[in-house]
Amino acid sequence: MEIIALVILLAAATGAVVGILMIMLRGRDRAAPMPFGPYLAAAGWLAMMYGNSLVSGYLRLSGLQR
């Protein structure tokens, strides 16, 4: 179940960063739609490859796990 949350959070964070950079650097309109699928796919791949270590690292960083 943690992996699904990881995928959604990674995709949202990556999409937000890329969207902000596109607005700032390329002058893209804020109202223009942006596809979310590529970010979900990339986050799913990262979670598949490094999911357990990413979740463990986050939990250690937040102090929820030793």
List the chain pLDDT tens, one digit each, 66 residues.
678 989 999 999 999 999 999 999 988 888 889 999 999 999 999 999 999 999 899 889 999 887
The confidence score (pLDDT) of residue 30 equals 85
DSSP string of 1-63, one letter each residue = -HHHHHHHHHHHHHHHHHHHHHHHHH---TTS---SHHHHHHHHHHHHHHHHHHHHHHHHHHT
The confidence score (pLDDT) of residue 35 equals 94
